[in-house]
Structure 1
Amino acid sequence: MGVTMETLRSVRTAAVWPWISTLARLALAAVWLVAGGLKVGDLAASARAVHAYELMSYDTAEVVGAIQPFLEIALGLLLLIGLATRLTAAISAVLMVIFIAGITWAWAKGLQIDCGCFSDGGALAEGKEAAYGLDILRDLGFLALSGLLVWRPKTRFSVDGLLMGDAR
């Protein structure tokens, strides 16, 4: 029996996916680590950014704003080391959907705020316009990375790989 071209293509594809997933895992880890790292030093600003969406009371926004940076950093660290990749990616996907919904809400309400994803957030300075379309597109890209990792969580150089006996 000979090896068919389809079999060779299938083997090559199977070998490439862990590398693609590794790049997605590391990119998403960087996103969470940077986003959380920028917020963790000023939890009051994080609370103001959450409250700017006008979706919850200030007291609730204060709690969410205090938890969010630590959650983002935890997700980033888990993805960086590749532990519980599928679960972490699923949580990332849920958060991205929530963020996209929040940005869409702010846009629909006519609010002029910075999304607070990689900044202090809150009301924009006079004369500045929100870039909600770009924010949503960016978050859709992050959602796609999360989805890819939910679909194909096997990555290289991960704790998951060590635990499963595939440390490559």
Structure 2
Amino acid sequence: MERTWPWISTVARLALAAVFLIAGGLKVGDLNESARAVKAYQLTSYDTAKIIGAAQPFLEIALGLLLLAGIATRLVAGISAVLLVIFIAGIVSAWARGLQIDCGCFSSGGELAAGRDTAYGLDILRDVAFLALAGILLWKPRSRYSADNVLMGVGR
């Protein structure tokens, strides 16, 4: 089993990289819309939501690129895990307060149109699965085809 962990970690690293690159890429084109999605959670002022909404896509893209390259994998997995816990807490909070919003994870987010239902349970399950990927990388960060291996001289 010890020989398969680098491959399992590689799949986890690349999958989590794809998640962050897609999520950040979908938001980076309209930072005002990203701010509105953050504001829909009703946890911050609009000014704070604008800052978070503007920074979040770039943070997600940066995490995705670092994971894709395999640079500082354990550290990046830790930051990813914290971010995912924040996302999960936000969704749980919105659900508990009866808000009718789209989580904005892979979309523009914000208030749901009349007749549309929330998918909070599925959103949370999805993010818990992403958190599990980060957990794998925290536990076993060594993976194939990563810059960490080159920098640490692994495989020489």
Question: For the superposition of Structure 1 and Structure 2, which TM-score range results when normalised by the shorter chain?
Answer: over 0.9
- Structure 1 unaligned blocks of 5 or more: 1-12
TM-score (norm 1): 0.92
Q: Distance in 1 between matches of 2:2 and 2:127?
A: 28
Tell me whether 1:105 sits opposite 2:90 in the alignment: no
Relative distance call for 1:60 and 1:126 in structure 2 (3 A) is same
The Cα of 1:167 is off from its aligned counterpart by 5.0
Partner AA of 1:163 in structure 2: L
Task: Say if 1:157 and 1:167, in contact at 8 Å, map to a contact too.
Answer: no
Structure with max Cα Rg: 1
Tell me whether 1:148 sits opposite 2:136 in the alignment: yes
Q: Distance in 2 between matches of 1:72 and 1:153?
A: 19
Percentage of matched positions with identical amino acids: 72
Q: Distance in 2 between matches of 1:70 and 1:131?
A: 25
Task: Say if 1:51 and 1:58, in contact at 8 Å, map to a contact too.
Answer: yes
Q: Distance in 2 between matches of 1:120 and 1:167?
A: 43
RMSD of aligned Cα (Å): 0.9
Question: What residue is the counterpart of 1:7 in the other structure?
Answer: none
Q: Distance in 2 between matches of 1:156 and 1:65?
A: 33
Q: Secondary structure at the match of 2:3?
A: helix
Q: Distance in 1 between matches of 2:39 and 2:154?
A: 45
Give 1:85-124 correspondences, 5 Å limit: 85-124=73-112
Partner AA of 1:145 in structure 2: L
Partner AA of 2:43 in structure 1: L
Give CA-to-partner distance per residue, 1:32-59, whole Å, 9 cap, x none.
0000000000000000000000000000
Q: Distance in 2 between matches of 1:129 and 1:48?
A: 19
TM-score (norm 2): 0.99
The Cα of 1:16 is off from its aligned counterpart by 0.5
